[in-house]
Amino acid sequence: MDRILIRGGRPLNGTITISGAKNSALKLMAASLLSDAPLTLSRVPALADVRFLGQLLARLGVSVEDEGAGRLRLHARDLAEPEAPYELVRKMRASFNVLGPLIAREGRAKVSLPGGCAIGARPVNLHLMALEALGAEIELSEGYVIARAPRGLAGARIVFPMGSVGATEHAMLAAVLAKGETVLEHCAREPEIADLADCLNAMGARVSGAGTDTITIEGVDRLHEAEWTVAPDRVETGTYAIAAAAAGGRVRLDGAEPDHNHALWDVLRRAGAEITAGAGHVEIARSGPIRAVDIQTEPFPGFPTDLQAQFMALMTLADGASVIRETIFENRFMHAPELTRLGARIDVRGNEAIVRGPVRLKGAPVMATDLRASVSLVIAGLAAEGETSVSRIYHLDRGFERLEEKLAAGGADIERRPEESA
């Protein structure tokens, strides 16, 4: 097991290239199950989660060919037994999204209930509700979902009680091969949903309205060969932007999509950063003091929960008190105790955290607890005096491609070392 060492106090300057979005790439990979023709994806990030899903797809009979330079060729010509076992699905929640495509194409599937980060309960009841509305017969047995649709799926009107990203995407994946029209209402509007819809349309699907509250899908008999480039990762974009604001300096983020992070740009400007956005890039600079800003996590286009931990790290340096309210997931302040080891002053009260600053962060050994919490500790380490050691970084490897290399290119003093050498 590795750890990351950071010697802080150095501003970031330079250019960082943004990778493809993990949260898009995983659902696009699952879409390959819908067709017996190849799907070639470009700008696929080299991440542990991508590797895990590739292993599961291979188990299901998909030919998974890494062509290098972020290109992945997926060919589900002849599927194996449509069963996704616990030992593969437990590693991450996105694996569960093979269920809908398998039902749509094979008429049956057995998929383990998912695992993933311990950031609170994230039930899959909305996923199963949507699949049942499309005609699937669902049975839960010994930790598995056993689904059957011997006569195929049929279009339906599905009204989600809340805007669930995963359930919206899962319903889309199943409905593209359903007979007739499917209308999804009260949908999530995240950019990754539009990316999935556009890729499915490139494969021959007929999806409209993605990115709005209502998505309409006209079922087709089959999908054909396609190539698609994964959308840029808005969470990675936001993470490096916050890192630049925390460390100071000037950083250009190439390959970013500025329109995917408007809520973040607003609060970073109020916190004292300069944001300049252009076609395919964003520049972040900060030379003056950081000001305290209150935030509340919300579904897109609001402030994303996946940037909450990173923003908390920035607020430890701010002049004044800031209130951070988490409304998406419970138990997502697990990074707060680790930040206090670096000198942060954070008071957690239910779904609110009050951060009082500014403090002089000082390096210390800290431990990652989940994917986004991990990178908040890295950001704090960049701004801290002395050396910070972040352990259990396998969480980081699930969601950030070449993190140390990208930060080092911007001037950070950061390296990865084996844990046993500590």
Cα–Cα distance for residue pair 59/83, rounded to 1 Å: 9
Residue appearing with tokens 């599905």:
158
The span from the CA of 88 to the CA of 210, in Å, is: 30
Closest CA to 241 of 228, 258, 226, 223: 258
| H-state helical runs in 248-307 | 262-271
Give dist(CA 154, CA 176) in Å, integer.
10
Contact 388, 363 (CB under 8 A): yes
Give the active site residue among 29, 117, 172, 173: 117
Q: How far, rounded to the nearest angstrom, does the alpha carbon of residue 219 sit from its chain's CA centroid?
A: 28
Q: What is the DSSP letter of 28?
A: H
- Interatomic CA distance for residues 26 and 23, integer angstroms: 6
Which own/partner pairs from 394-397 qualify as long-range (CB within 8 Å, at least 24 positions apart)?
394/1, 394/2, 394/48, 395/117, 395/368, 395/369, 395/370, 395/371, 396/4, 396/368, 396/371, 397/47, 397/48
Give the whole-angstrom CA distance, residue 147 versus residue 132.
Answer: 9
For the beta sheet containing 144-148, the strands, ordered from the edge strand earlier in sequence to the opposite edge, are 83-84, 108-112, 144-148, 137-141
Active site (annotated) includes residue 187: no
Residues with Cβ < 8 Å from 361, sequence gap 6 or more? 8, 316, 317, 342, 343, 344, 380, 383, 384, 385
With a CB cutoff of 8 Å and minimum separation 6, the contacts of 42 are 20, 70, 71, 227, 228, 229, 230
**CB 219 within 8 Å of CB 177:** yes
Contacting residues for 220 by C-beta, under 8 A, at least 6 apart? 176, 177, 204, 205, 206
- Among candidates 200, 125, 113, 220, which has minimal Cα distance to 166? 125
Report, as residue numbers or ranges, the catalytic residues. 117
